[in-house]
Structure 1
Amino acid sequence: MNQDKTYDIVIYGGTAAGIAAAVQARKMGKSAVVIEPGRRIGGLTSGGLGDTDVGMKEAVGGLSMEFYRRVARKYTQEEACWLFEPKVALEVLQDWVTEYGIEVVYGERLDLADGVTKQGDTIVSIRMESGSIFKGSMFIDAGYEGDLMGKAGVSYFVGRESNAQYGETLNGIRPGNELPGGIDPYVVKGVPSSGLLDRVLPHRGGDIGDGDDKLQAYNFRMCLTNNPDNRVDIEKPEGYNEADYEILFRAIEQGQDSRFFKLNRVTPDKTDSNNNSGISTDYNGMNHGYAEADYQMREQMWEAHRIYQQGYVWTIQNHPRVPEEIRAVYRPWGLPLDEFTESGHWTAQLYIRESRRMIGDYVVTEHDVRLENPVPDSVGMGSFAMDSHHTQYYVNEDGHVSTEGGFYIRLAAPYPISYRALVPKRKECANLLVPVCVSATHAAYGSIRMEPVFMILGQSAAAAAVLALEADGVVQNVKADELQAILVQEHQVLYTDI
């Protein structure tokens, strides 16, 4: 590593947002490096999420729309393609890297102990665990975890704000249950002294609308195939714990006979398989603490999620407590031999739906998403439903197992996202932009946190970084009208008439 080299823009995180940022930087004539802690670029976009959470297509523009059009061309289609295989998404992103001469560094993780060097309010360089140092004039944190942002001394929040804090209705602890009624919570049914089932808490932890530090559930977006010539079975994993599936067995006993996981086709014989009910591929309750965890603890959580989810699929396909008619529906599906060849055909990308969220001078709230606030400095639009997965299992007032934390509220129209949500407070950091772990509440982030929006914001962040670079080096001083003029030229959608 050339430790004397200084880049115009250092991008930490090779997600789709990070690659879009690098493309925009190169289009504007600046040097950029993308530091990817793993071995594959694209994050969820190339990591199994092939059934795009697009919301309203009219709100997608710029490089984000260009990505989906390039995907379409790989399938010899005319219009933008929102359904695709992981390997095709990766190919499109790698095409960008080649075309724009983007430098990508793999396998380098930020030193979480003391990896950010600042002079006053300006980041000078970042150091990796390996000792490699990357110097830059501007920095973009495009990771799902917000590690660079968090370690740069920027304010952030983990968990769920109370409804009262911003006058919201969807935040904090949520009512509602997405399990069949009547599931007994005790190891021995009807015997409290036998203890609660694994992952079932005695109470939800507060009143409806109260805040807490818990995260909505993670899982893996599985790409599965039913093509026997391109399929390997998902075996019962080493470390399989049958007790982890007792809620599943009891849900089936109480009448659940479908929605165990999605089989959404992205091609005639491949899926993007996601969580689909209160007991599904989400490992509810087992990611709390992930945002602040060190790498070793995160790796343990990753492995626990893998064992649970592979074990869950094996259980649905094979376990005698699952009726044969259910097993028969899911048994034909396995891992494609032509996907994720570098990681045993199982995606390495855990679906980190939410981690840190920056607290800037402007916080996007439910009111912005509902178009109740004017946003004069839009740098892109969101349009997907406000969507949170479940946070935990607990014993409800009826004495049964209940989920908690989920919501899904469709929107009537797209909403603009303020530039100020991408930048920290001025006193905290002057040369950092954050297009993924943006300044937003849990409720609003439930809509923002979609891959098309991350690419939109990644592109806009890079354009702003270039403007700051060519002015006084302060991202908070970028003039909205100048930034918007560039973004319009780049076909970014900033407002719609929908």
Structure 2
Amino acid sequence: MYGESRENSFDICVYGESAAGVMAAIQSARLGKSVVLISKNQHVGGLVTSGLTATDMNRNDMVGGLAREFYQKIYAYYLNPEVWKNQNREEFFIKSRKRTYTGKNDERKMQWVYESKVAERIMLDMLKEAGVTLWQHERLKRKKGVKKNDLQISRITLESGKTVSARVFIDASYEGDLLAAAGVSYMVGREDNKTYDETLNGYRVNYNMGTNLSEVSPYRKSGYPKSGLLPYIDKKVQGAQGTQDKKVQAYCYRLTLTDDPANRIKITKPENYDPSLYEVLVRHINLNPAMTLQKIITLTPMPNRKTDTNHLDFFGASYDYAEAGYKKRGDIEEQHKNYALGMLWLLEHDPRVPQHIRDEMKDWGLPKDEFEDNGNFPNHIYVREARRMVGEFVMSEKNVVKEDRTAAPNSIGIGTYALDCHYVSKVVDEEGKLRYEGTIFQATTPYPVNYLSITPKRNECGNLLVPVCLSASHVAYSSIRMEPVYMVLGQSAAVAAAMAIDGNMAVQDIPYNELAPRLHALNQIIEINAKSK
């Protein structure tokens, strides 16, 4: 722990070790506030330091403040030839260029492709230099663990029995446990399109978008309905397109793999390996025998012959995660871990997989020098979406779409990524054909994120800020949910928290005409046409 304190009383308490939480804690400390950052494990950075190293940064010119400082530190680290162990810098950037929006910007001295262990070391150094108190292996007591006086959280209790008092709390967790325990309104799942006058929300059978599974039999014995459906396939369409439900997009682990024999640990078959979980994939591959490994999983190059490995999505297994207790979450995480390792094992060993795919997969394994305290497996599951606060302002489709946009006022950061929701479920449609359901992918252009979307409703809580599980519809969240945006919003939340303390006011009452210049002074980019420095 950094900055040990005898008294568990702070100006600002940041709950959640995500990259947004790290940036919020650093900024709070730099503003002279006493701050504690609470991590559920011994790590910091969330997905940014746990495999998601092919950063979703399509517009690096829209990333400023501490987030830019972090990516500049990564750039500086990799300028040192000695850190390149098995390839050189030039070779790497030629290899990675197509999949990572170039991976770096030399003019801004930013780099957003890296190794997880490097990113975490940089974040830990930044936290220590700022004087942040870091508590590790601590989790909120979710039942009766939040004490409120009127509309103010006065104290939270952790499972260990520790208590934390603070003037302002920041929930930077991926799950939104603090906001929920504080009685703040939230949503899990998808709204009906009518809720916010949207077009892309709700249940959506993908008849024309994404991978076509219509020729794949959904039954345990191919072509025989009486044999029963394969696991995690819905037997019928649940309702009309665009209607509300409680399902969330697929989670996964973003594994780091390597093809360096000196650093590689071969993937072994999980003990509870269930081949039926991959039967749809195998049948789809056999219908498309020329398919390559890169069309099944994406192996995006990272420094030192490593990858960010995506699309190990476990469709249908994440619906309960947001509301689940800690034990059940652990079980779901274990399911996803076994699913990921099982899928990689299958792609190398199952004789039904074409030989050219098996030959390519056999070059890959887990890296010996990453996640050494966790069996070389990432520390965080990729929670793409859990709770979403219903706050003072709700970001919705009309605030982020490319056409006919209604710009959100009072910007504290810029979103830039496409609307991007991974598949939610698999379903047998009215004609008996297998379909994916739930995906959204639609380009957009940069848009502002409203300050009040990180504040609860003013009649629910006046000293809580939420930069990750912020107030947004499922559609808007599918774009906002990128890690650089979380980091920007985390820093802006810290500035707002300090202002609320200094002005002795509720977070909803902070004058935006005072907040905006303070963000500008910290090199935050909050205007779409701002010139990046």
How high is the TM-score relative to the length of structure 1? 0.97
1:266 corresponds to: 302
Partners of 1:200 and 1:376 lie apart in 2 by 42
2:236 corresponds to: 203
Q: 1:164 aligns with which of 188, 194, 197?
A: 194
Q: How does 1:399-410 map to 2 (within 5 A)?
A: 399-410=432-443
Partners of 2:380 and 2:147 lie apart in 1 by 28
Once the two structures are TM-superposed, the CA of residue 39 in structure 1 deviates from its matched residue by: 1.6
Q: How does 1:350-361 map to 2 (within 5 A)?
A: 350-361=381-392
1:95 corresponds to: 125
1:379 corresponds to: 412
Partners of 1:150 and 1:172 lie apart in 2 by 22
Alignment of 1:289 onto 2:325 = no
* Secondary structure in 1 matching 2:48: coil
Contact 1:180 1:255 in 2 (8 A): no
Q: How does 1:180-259 map to 2 (within 5 A)?
A: 180-255=213-288, 257-258=291-292, 259=295
1:62 corresponds to: 65
Contact 2:407 2:447 in 1 (8 A): no
Contact 1:336 1:345 in 2 (8 A): yes
2:54 corresponds to: 51
Partners of 2:155 and 2:117 lie apart in 1 by 33
Total equivalences in the alignment: 492
Once the two structures are TM-superposed, the CA of residue 206 in structure 1 deviates from its matched residue by: 1.1
Alignment of 1:475 onto 2:507 = yes
Q: 1:442 aligns with which of 474, 483, 490?
A: 474
Partners of 1:86 and 1:489 lie apart in 2 by 30
The two structures, once aligned, show a CA RMSD in angstroms of 1.4
Once the two structures are TM-superposed, the CA of residue 268 in structure 1 deviates from its matched residue by: 5.0
Alignment of 1:5 onto 2:8 = yes
* Secondary structure in 2 matching 1:92: helix
Contact 1:180 1:254 in 2 (8 A): no
Alignment of 1:144 onto 2:174 = yes
Structure 2 gaps of 5+ residues are 81-105
Percentage identity across aligned positions? Answer: 41
Once the two structures are TM-superposed, the CA of residue 264 in structure 1 deviates from its matched residue by: 0.5
Partners of 1:330 and 1:182 lie apart in 2 by 26
Amino acid at match of 1:248: L
Q: 2:348 aligns with which of 317, 321, 335?
A: 317
Alignment of 1:105 onto 2:105 = no
Partners of 1:181 and 1:375 lie apart in 2 by 40
Spell out, residue by residue over 1:433-462, the C-alpha distance to the aligned partner (whole angstroms, 9 max, x if none). 000000000000001101100000000000
Compare 371-380 and 158-167 and name the one that shifted more: 371-380
Amino acid at match of 1:187: R
Once the two structures are TM-superposed, the CA of residue 2 in structure 1 deviates from its matched residue by: 6.0
Contact 2:218 2:230 in 1 (8 A): yes
Contact 2:270 2:341 in 1 (8 A): yes
1:27 corresponds to: 30
Partners of 1:268 and 1:145 lie apart in 2 by 32
Partners of 1:235 and 1:40 lie apart in 2 by 26
Contact 2:299 2:309 in 1 (8 A): yes
Structure 1 segments of 4+ aligned residues over 2 angstroms from their partners: 1-5
2:427 corresponds to: 394
How high is the TM-score relative to the length of structure 2? 0.90
Once the two structures are TM-superposed, the CA of residue 374 in structure 1 deviates from its matched residue by: 3.3
Partners of 1:23 and 1:72 lie apart in 2 by 20
Once the two structures are TM-superposed, the CA of residue 238 in structure 1 deviates from its matched residue by: 1.2
Alignment of 1:117 onto 2:147 = yes
Structure 1 gaps of 5+ residues are 276-280
Compare 247-256 and 63-72 and name the one that shifted more: 247-256
Partners of 1:384 and 1:491 lie apart in 2 by 21
